[in-house]
Amino acid sequence: MRQRSTGLAAAIAGLLATAAATPGLAGGPLYRYVDERGVIHFTDAPTDSRFDPVNPPDPDASRSARAYDGVISLVARMQDVPPALVKAVIRTESNFNRLAVSPKGAQGLMQLMPSTAQHLGVQDPFESFQNVEGGVRYLRRLIDRYGSWRLALAAYNAGPEAVDHYGGIPPYRETREYVRKVLAYYDRYDADFAR
């Protein structure tokens, strides 16, 4: 019986992902999370940080965790940021989908807002190298500003103004969950990059 319900959930997830990737079939982006009982929840208007985007597949690259390791390694070393941290931010922000667009308009692998991309000189936020290079430069500035990965990540998510206002990680559930996720992915990806 458990296998049947899991199979049904997988079929529903597949149909919803197809709908999300097919223009006109879905009204907007979809989000999902799996609860502690293994139940998959979908929404088009997430109000909970546990939801992750169900993005259309990137036609130009595999969405595997290693698809962008070369770009990540090069750019991270240029900015003296650990590549595993950059990879963790990308995983949390876009799930390695260079075509991802958030409901708020953030774009590409590192989910740069158009104004931030423009400020960083990123002309095409959907071009992998430009997006990662701009995002890592921004992350480096935040690390230098706050002297702490946790605060830099909070500022990447909620904005430096929020971190300054609260004198630390803002009391936003989304931001606290974001910092937790990135650091957990960092631990997972640390072994992907040779020292």
User: What is the 8-class DSSP label of residue 35?
Assistant: -
What value does the CA radius of gyration of the chain take, rounded to a whole number of Å?
Answer: 17
Alpha helices (H) in 22-64, listed in sequence order: none
Can you tell me whether residue 68 is helix, strand or coil?
Answer: coil
Amino acid at 73: S
* Residue 31, burial from CB neighbour count under 10 angstroms (0-12, 13-18, 19+): buried
Tabulate helix, strand, coil % of the chain (nearest 5).
55, 10, 35
Catalytic pick from 36, 93, 161, 177? Answer: 93
Contacts of 185 (CB under 8 A, 6+ apart): 87, 88, 91, 92
Q: Which of 150, 163, 160, 171 is nearest to 88 (CA)?
A: 150
40-43 β-sheet, strand order: 40-43, 30-34, 52-54
Indicate if 133 belongs to the active site. Answer: no
Here the tokens at position 56 are: 């259309």
How many angstroms separate the CA atoms of 95 and 68, rounded? 11
Active site residues: 93
